Amino acid sequence: MFRIGAHVSISDGFPAAVDHEVDLGGNCGQIFVGSPRGWAVSEVDETEAEAFQETTEERDVRPWIVHGTYLVNLATPKDDLAEKSVDCVQSELDATAALGVPYYVFHPGAHTGAGESTGIRNVGERLSEVDVPDDVTLLLENTAGKGTTVGKRLEDLDEMVEVSSHGYGDLGICLDTCHLFAAGYDFRDDAGMADLADDIEATVGYENVHYLHLNDSKHPLGSEKDEHQHVGEGEIGEDGFRLFVNHDGLRENPMVLETPVDEKGYEWNIETVKRLRTGD
């Protein structure tokens, strides 16, 4: 079954997030387990976790994914920030497991002047300090590449996994379309999509891509700017998304939207992706 959804709030509690997703027309979804711009992780009440799992099952909204706080930086040269980031990732992973959610995704971070190769190695080594729960897969998200952020190239994500003591299995990949495009991957026509497909196969491998973030880009190809636009209304356009969401190597993955929340909103974007999707 085609799984498409959006990021939804947990402000009304975890079980209510499932209903919010259904109201948008989604059948999978993404949540935070705390403030995206803070270090605190919400305590997961056992009763609420059970209610969340029951509602998920009843309404057939799955799989869920938890997005990590934006403050996490495993690439940093600063030991105190690295320690805080590792502790936060661990707490978020534990909350993910307590909710019965199978995926957790985060941004690798920035090397802030230490050098790209050092930042990439830092991510891998610090991932080794994390205990990934048995029923959770930790996903690395590709980045747009702005400033000193690492993870712009697919081979960089692959190196992070290789450096880590976990390897694929405990770890996997989440691909963001806006980030791919901003990083210079052009998949707006058949030739470009074929090139991206070859890059995925040669680096992280399709089998290790578990989730997709669908966001158009407000800025041109290779801009390294991470500003999301409604699907089909940015620089990627409908042709690019049609190729991406229908590609044989990607189409079975769950997909969530992180598009602007304005007069169009998530419901409009979900319907747009459903229209672009073929063969279901």
Domain of residue 48, CATH code: 3.20.20.150
Distance of CA 96 to the CA centre of its chain: 14
As a whole number, mean pLDDT of residues 205-223 equals 98
- Phi and psi for 84 in degrees, rounded to 5? -65, -40
Q: What is the pLDDT of residue 244?
A: 98
d(CA 137, CA 220): 32
Q: What is the pLDDT of residue 279?
A: 79
Q: Is the pLDDT of residue 273 over 80?
A: yes
What are 42-78's pLDDT values in tens digits? 989 999 999 999 999 999 999 999 999 999 999 999 9
Q: What is the pLDDT of residue 215?
A: 98
pTM above 0.75, yes or no: yes
Asked if 24 contacts 273 with a C-beta cutoff of 8 angstroms, the reply is no
Token pair 């085609």: residue? 2
What are 150-203's pLDDT values in tens digits? 999 999 999 999 999 999 999 999 999 999 999 999 999 999 999 999 999 999
β 171-176/64-67 pair status: unpaired
Residue 28 domain boundaries: 4-276
pLDDT band for position 266 (50/70/90)? very high
Q: Is the pLDDT of residue 208 over 80?
A: yes
Beta bridge partners of 66: 31, 104
In total, how many domains does the chain have? Answer: 1
pLDDT band for position 232 (50/70/90)? very high
